[in-house]
């Protein structure tokens, strides 16, 4: 039998255990006398194997029950039809973007004499092109009566680049390029009183085709004559025939 602790010892014990508050249980009226503990009977030795066999049979039956339920459900519902995977939509044909129009023309001019519009590639040395332009201008000046001056001092040059940098918002197709080239040629001829224009190269002739009453001659580019010196004879014959 257990003896109840005195109140002082009970409070000290609870405080030592870390219990801050404790409310004792009271027996309700008519309730049986509370029992502190019960002594369980010792388990029989012979009952242990039976308990083990029951424990082993329970998982087996537990596994068999869901399996049989699934088989029954499969028979009732039947084999589900395979879901057809959606066919991929045909890819839209992408149209190739038009190539951006880019070219460079070199303008060489001597006031009162002639304007050379050259379409030589950009990698051709500039000094060789300028020397060829000066020699050609000198040959033209000797055939023009009344012209006096120094070709070396009077020779001017500038580049015409397309598309025009800084005007990306505007249309810069082939039509706009042709209009811009023609406007640049006409403005130079009017400003410098140029009676003759040489369109040297395919690009120069392609984008400068509407010069009105100006005396224009289409020839090969300067790069062609630098690579093929014998072709200069054909150029000179073409120039003398035109004058």
Give the residue, 237 or 82, on which the prediction is more confident: 237
CA angle 151, 152, 155 (to 5 degrees): 70
Euclidean distance between the first and the last CA atom of the chain, given in angstroms as a whole number? 145
pLDDT tens profile 37-61: 777 777 665 555 555 555 555 555 5
Sorted by where each starts, the structural domains of the chain and their CATH numbers stand as: 103-242 (3.30.420)
Which is it for the CA torsion 151, 216, 180, 160, positive or negative?
negative
Share of the chain above pLDDT 90, in %: 41
Looking at the chain, list the stretches that DSSP marks H as alpha helix, in order from N- to C-terminal side. 7-17, 47-77, 126-143, 151-154, 174-192, 202-207, 222-227, 232-242
How does pLDDT run across 2-11, given as a tens digit for each residue?
566 777 787 7
- Could you give the dihedral angle defined by the CA atoms of residues 73, 77, 82 and 83, in that order, rounded to the nearest 10 degrees? -100
| pTM listed for this prediction | 0.59
């Amino acid at each position: 039998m257990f003896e109840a602790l005195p109140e002082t010892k009970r409070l000290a014990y609870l405080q030592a255990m870390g219990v801050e508050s404790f409310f004792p249980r009271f027996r309700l009226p008519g309730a049986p006398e509370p029992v502190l503990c019960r002594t369980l009977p010792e388990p029989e030795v012979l009952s242990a194997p039976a308990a083990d066999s029951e424990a082993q049979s329970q998982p087996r039956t537990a596994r068999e029950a869901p399996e049989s339920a699934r088989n029954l459900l499969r028979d009732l519902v039947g084999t589900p039809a395979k879901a057809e995977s959606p066919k991929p939509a045909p890819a839209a044909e992408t149209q190739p973007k038009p190539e951006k129009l880019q070219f460079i023309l070199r303008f060489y001019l001597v006031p009162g004499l002639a304007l050379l519009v050259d379409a030589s590639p950009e990698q051709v040395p500039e000094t060789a092109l300028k020397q060829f332009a000066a020699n050609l201008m000198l040959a033209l000046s000797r055939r023009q009566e009344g012209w006096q001056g120094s070709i070396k001092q009077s020779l001017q040059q500038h580049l015409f680049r397309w598309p025009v940098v800084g005007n990306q918002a505007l249309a810069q197709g082939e039509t706009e390029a042709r209009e811009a080239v023609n406007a640049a040629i006409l403005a130079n001829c009017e400003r410098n009183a140029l009676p003759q224009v040489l369109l040297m190269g395919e690009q120069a002739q392609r984008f400068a085709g509407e010069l009105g009453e100006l005396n224009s001659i289409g020839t090969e580019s300067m790069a062609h004559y630098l690579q093929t010196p014998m072709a200069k004879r054909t150029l000179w014959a073409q120039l003398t025939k035109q004058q």
